[in-house]
Structure 1
Amino acid sequence: MSWTLGPSELDDLARGAAILGTGGGGDPWIGRLLVAEAMREHGPVTVLDPEEVADDALVVPVANMGAPTVMIEKLPGADEPVAALRALERFLGREADATMPIECGGGNSMIPLIVAARTGLPVVDADGMGRAFPELQMETFHVYGLTASPLAMAGDHGETCVFDTGRDTVRLEDLARRVTVGLGGGAAIAEFAMSGSDLKRTAVPRTLSLALALGRAVREARAEHRDPVAALGEAVKGTIYGHLRVLFRGKVTDVERRTEGGFAQGRAAFTSMDGTSGLEVRFQNEHLAALVDGEVVCLVPDLVCVLEVDTGEPITTEALRYGQRVAVVGIAAPAIMRTPEALAVFGPQAFGLPFPFRPVERILPV
């Protein structure tokens, strides 16, 4: 059933999107401001359940591309994603019937809302990652047979271009990443144009409404003086994610971060409050692996999320700082993201991690 998203719900949505962003996907609070301004000018946004989308509809996902560390200083704009959508429509010779996120996590959950408010298009309550990932091919759309080409890109000085690499999405990622770096480290993209029937077959469903529910759960727990991390765990139960495990509680003691090849890469170290245990988190835009005292406790595609221990507010990779008191949680990825086909594209080996994937709920049973 369709629903209307208005300005009053954006704080909860941004918070939940940052949780699902696993540290990456761009800063959702910057995106939230852009959405609020677009809604102020053009009104609220209609969100469609995937089952409501006609099989022959044209759905065009939109997003920003680039390293989150760059986007702190080079703020994304509201014109570029609309320009990317229009460039792809011209190339295809057909107007889009709806837009949607390519990832439900971080700032990229907000970009389709900006486009929807400014164009009047509805947004589909689904995405292609179920979290955030750093590369274009790391989407369930690609895993289950769709092609990202043609991809349209727009820069902040009015540049637009269209890439068409046929079915080679890995090559498309390489070319688009290089141009993004040339555009100053950030650009808007429109890609994976698909039919409604392909959307229903390949997307992770109802992730915008999930982000909204997670953000609301944390806010309400704080207002009622309950543990927001526990409330988050309760909110995950009964969803297609199903499991949350607290991996570690402690403080940030070291952060190694570099921007390289268009990505924010590095690691963060955490120490328990009593100093007896340590956690290492490795990231490439997003958190990929969590190891407690050298033992893996959560691995991509499962979600590693760093939260402020008292408030439950998510902390992105670029915002990690020495001394922060945190709770690090692992959230199980949906089944569509754990198939052999999916793990071949965005499992641990896709990131060069020397660990076999094991579900977080099996590593840490209740």
Structure 2
Amino acid sequence: MAKLSNEDLQWLLEGATFLGCGGGGSYSVGKEILAAAIALGKDIVLISAEDLPLDSLAISPAAIGSPDAVSAQDDSVPFIASAPKAFDALQMAINSQREIPEPAEYVIAGETGPWATTITLYLAAKKNLTVIDGDGGGRAMPQLNMTYFTAQEVIASPISVANDTTQASKSVVSTSRVGSTDLAGDVVRGIISTDSFGNTGAFATWPMGKKDVVTASITNSLSFTLKVGEAITRHKSDPDKYPLSEVLDVLRTERGFAEIIMNGELCLFSETTDGTFDMGQARFKDKTTGRSLYIYNKNENMIAYFEDETSPAALAPDSICFLREDGSPTTNADITPEDIGQSFYIIGFSSDQRMRNQTTVTTFLDALKDMGYAGRFEPIEELSKHWPA
């Protein structure tokens, strides 16, 4: 086990924002949640999946909803009211089926992203829990059924959802038992679309023992996120001493393939909110060649094309991620009209190999089909052979 310093926590936010593939919420809200966690003044400890006790119980928290809906809320820190309520409700549901109730002492993020990662850290501090070095994907994902948990047949049930209010008269917590993670996603989206939730809230699910955590999570993902965040932070502080190539080296060491797809100016960015999803597109113009790159997102960046090309440049579950010109990671939720004309690095790299299993790839392809792509999955290392010079 290792105690996380405040510097470690900041590196986790930086890394999670980048690894969120343009999604996973906004950096700005993640920064608020992390500050709330640090303000609690509690030690936050990281443990590897292999070091968990045999009788351990882990719970996975996350935020759900449209980042635009979250930004329209009041001035309170998002999710610090709803996440503990959902956690407590899930623990009650689990213990209601046990002869001897036992507390959950471990927490594992549902994905890597600025919201899920910091909510996990906040709950650890708030509830005196230990954080597991792992998560459900090593990236952010728009749907619950895209996680590696799902591919390994760990169902998101029971699942507890809470709205983000501290007013007792307006507080809503709902717990459901479902037969599949597909149904869990439908139930949660239906609940948070009500007026009491306003298309945003927090949930807790995927109760797991050690065996499931070891076999069904992307183990050691937080250690990787920490390394990425440290490299990004060093690059931001002194790009001459710590060039962007060092960030790419960290990615390659873990994932194999990582390259800059483009250093380009943002020319177009548009989004529409469809329930819990922000659907959008961005166009970047290469600063050297003038060629355009189009990226389409469903909260997360899902597919990228160079202009005049029929084959994609990159496809999810492989990663399409942003760094601003100054090296700061950012997400689609943080990009505004004022960013038009600003320079970004678009970086593509391989997903964790465990996320290339047939179940997960098919689920991503189903989402891509709804977005207009009817082709097959091709790894980014193969697609990159056809990128323009």
**Structure 1 length normalisation: TM-score?**
0.94
Equivalent in 296, 318, 343 of residue 282 of structure 1: 296
Residues 26 and 71 of structure 1 are in contact (CA less than 8 Å); yes or no, is this contact kept in structure 2?
no
Give the aligned residue type for 2:299.
Answer: N
Q: Counterpart of 2:348 in 1: which secondary structure?
A: strand
Q: Counterpart of 1:133 in 2: which secondary structure?
A: coil
Q: Deviations over 1:188-223 (max 9, x none)?
A: 100111111111001001111211211110221233
Task: Write the distance in 2 (CA, Å) between the matches of 1:92 and 1:209.
Answer: 29
**Structure 2 length normalisation: TM-score?**
0.88
Q: Counterpart of 1:357 in 2: which secondary structure?
A: coil
Residues 26 and 332 of structure 2 are in contact (CA less than 8 Å); yes or no, is this contact kept in structure 1?
no
Q: Counterpart of 2:313 in 1: which secondary structure?
A: strand
Residues 14 and 29 of structure 1 are in contact (CA less than 8 Å); yes or no, is this contact kept in structure 2?
no
Q: CA deviation at 1:228?
A: 4.4
Give the aligned residue type for 1:349.
Answer: D
In the other structure, the counterpart of 1:78 is 80
In the other structure, the counterpart of 2:359 is 341
* Corresponding residue pairs, total: 361
Q: Counterpart of 2:341 in 1: which secondary structure?
A: coil
Q: Deviations over 1:146-180 (max 9, x none)?
A: 110110011123211101122x2212211211211
In the other structure, the counterpart of 1:181 is 193
Structure 1 residues not aligned, in runs of 5+: none
Task: Write the distance in 2 (CA, Å) between the matches of 1:77 and 1:212.
Answer: 23
Residues 76 and 186 of structure 1 are in contact (CA less than 8 Å); yes or no, is this contact kept in structure 2?
no
In the other structure, the counterpart of 1:318 is 333
Give the aligned residue type for 1:169.
Answer: T
Q: Deviations over 1:80-104 (max 9, x none)?
A: 2111111011111142120110001
Q: CA deviation at 1:288?
A: 0.4
Residues 141 and 300 of structure 2 are in contact (CA less than 8 Å); yes or no, is this contact kept in structure 1?
yes
In the other structure, the counterpart of 1:296 is 312
In the other structure, the counterpart of 1:160 is 173
In the other structure, the counterpart of 2:60 is 61
In the other structure, the counterpart of 2:40 is 41
Q: Deviations over 1:280-327 (max 9, x none)?
A: 000000000111123411100000002113x22122112233112111
Give the aligned residue type for 1:8.
Answer: E
Matched, 1:19 2:18: yes
| Equivalent residue runs for 1:176-325 within 5 Å | 176-182=188-194, 183-226=197-240, 228-239=243-254, 241-274=255-288, 276-293=290-307, 294=309, 295-309=311-325, 311-320=326-335, 321-325=339-343
Task: Write the distance in 2 (CA, Å) between the matches of 1:112 and 1:355.
Answer: 36
Task: Write the distance in 1 (CA, Å) between the matches of 2:10 and 2:43.
Answer: 14
Matched, 1:128 2:136: yes
Given the superposition, is the C-alpha separation of residues 163 and 228 from structure 1 closer, same or farther in structure 2, using an over 3 Å criterion?
A: farther
Task: Write the distance in 1 (CA, Å) between the matches of 2:5 and 2:84.
Answer: 20
Task: Write the distance in 2 (CA, Å) between the matches of 1:207 and 1:228.
Answer: 23
Q: CA deviation at 1:39?
A: 2.8
Task: Write the distance in 1 (CA, Å) between the matches of 2:274 and 2:266.
Answer: 23
**For the aligned residues, what is the CA RMSD?**
1.7
Q: Deviations over 1:264-293 (max 9, x none)?
A: 001111112246311000000000011112
Residues 28 and 108 of structure 1 are in contact (CA less than 8 Å); yes or no, is this contact kept in structure 2?
no
Give the aligned residue type for 1:180.
Answer: I
Give the aligned residue type for 2:347.
Answer: V
Give the aligned residue type for 1:164.
Answer: R
Give the aligned residue type for 1:88.
Answer: L
Matched, 1:363 2:383: yes
Q: CA deviation at 1:7?
A: 2.1
Task: Write the distance in 1 (CA, Å) between the matches of 2:47 and 2:193.
Answer: 34
